[in-house]
Structure 1
């Protein structure tokens, strides 16, 4: 993956995380935050395995999925 595309993934991840703070509906917040966390995991992987980015965002992905499934 080119560094330019990797940077775009990081910017998209940041955008979705910030957007999740602007929403009021908890389900939408969790979905948008999940997208951001997945993108941050990908960003960490494509940036030569940045574990401090991958680990917390992977954990947050699990938490978001758990709450989304639990609410359904």
Structure 2
């Protein structure tokens, strides 16, 4: 597998799109979190793509916060 980071980027896109197809908020946040993590990995291993890494890293922390917070 020559450029595996591209596959991680595609997987990230699938997770993000899938999160928009869900209704349960916890499932949305969990799947979106997986997409954000994949995008951060993709950004790091594709040459430190900061415009990809920074927003997805921030969004990942927001999703984690919202998943674990008590209502």
Q: Does the alignment reach a TM-score above 0.5?
A: yes
More helix by share: 1
Matching residue of 2:55: 56
Size of the aligned set, in residue pairs, is 71
Does 2:52 align with 1:26?
A: no
Q: CA RMSD in A?
A: 1.5
Give every structure 1 segment of 4 or more consecutive aligned residues whose post-TM-superposition deviation is greater than 4 Å: none
1:21, distance to aligned residue in structure 2 (A): 0.1
Long gaps (5+) in structure 2: none
* TM-score w.r.t. length of structure 1: 0.93
> Partner of 2:23: helix, strand, or coil?
coil
1:2, distance to aligned residue in structure 2 (A): 4.0
